[in-house]
Chain A
Amino acid sequence: DQQVKQNSPSLSVQEGRISILNCDYTNSMFDYFLWYKKYPAEGPTFLISISSIKDKNEDGRFTVFLNKSAKHLSLHIVPSQPGDSAVYFCAASAVRGGADGLTFGKGTHLIIQP
């Protein structure tokens, strides 16, 4: 039973264009969402988060959108750069954030093409 789903295992985007990574969740108790970026042989790096009381959070080139009614969130990267090529994980938690551990999606491999 996957509570956090990233339905696209991979995504290819041209450099300079917008990358949109999607994530769906099923547990309505989730109230805090995070995106992590992971390079091979490294641990995930925290990118951006959003609380369920918001519908948008922006940090530089990264924007996360949350649609609670659809139980859907997305990460927008504008403009996409070669260094953005990595695996992106969506994660969610309930109540106190890390209290029950983060539930991760299986990741989307983003490939930025020159």
Chain B
Amino acid sequence: KAGVTQTPRYLIKTRGQQVTLSCSPISGHRSVSWYQQTPGQGLQFLFEYFSETQRNKGNFPGRFSGRQFSNSRSEMNVSTLELGDSALYLCASSSRDRGRETQYFGPGTRLLVL
């Protein structure tokens, strides 16, 4: 099976702009989660979508939003970008095995806010 894909891989934006990142999960996976990775904070959970519904949300401001489509592809949007939003954004799709979910990550989108 193809892995999780994320587009674009790299992005440069300026403060105040908005950005949309895309994620295609592994075929058959219905859950998609998003994470932000920064050097200081490590990997932090943003939100999870399952069957087009947001199932869980981390502790991030409302500028961070997402959605999931009927084919399980997901997008993440960040509005009014701030310098501190510069990070690696990772998407992960989940499989369920005997009730336990294992998340498989994409390569990430590196966002730089100037």
Given contact pairs A98-B31, A98-B94, A49 touches B102 in the complex (Cβ within 8 A): yes
The one of B35, B56, B106 that contacts A99, using a Cβ cutoff of 8 Å:
B56
Whether B100 sits at the interface, judged by CB under 8 Å, is yes
A59 beta carbon closer than 8 Å to chain B:
no
Q: Is A106's CB within 8 Å of the partner chain B?
A: yes
Interface size on B, residues (CB 8 A): 29
Does any Cβ of A come within 8 Å of B90's Cβ?
yes
Q: Is the pair A44, B105 in contact by a Cβ cutoff of 8 Å?
A: yes
Chain B interface SS verdict (over half): strand
* B104 contacts across to A, CB distance below 8 A: 46
Answer whether residue B21 sits at the interface, using C-beta atoms and an 8 A cutoff: no
Count of A residues near B, CB < 8 Å? 26
> Which of the segments B11-19, B41-49, B65-73, B75-83 contacts the partner chain?
B41-49
CA distance A46 to B3 in the complex (A): 12
Mark A residues whose CB is within 8 Å of B: 32, 34, 36, 41-46, 49, 51, 89, 91, 93, 96-107
Q: Which residues of B contact A (CB under 8 A)?
A: 4, 6, 31, 33, 35, 42-45, 47-48, 55-56, 58, 90, 92, 94, 96, 99-108, 110
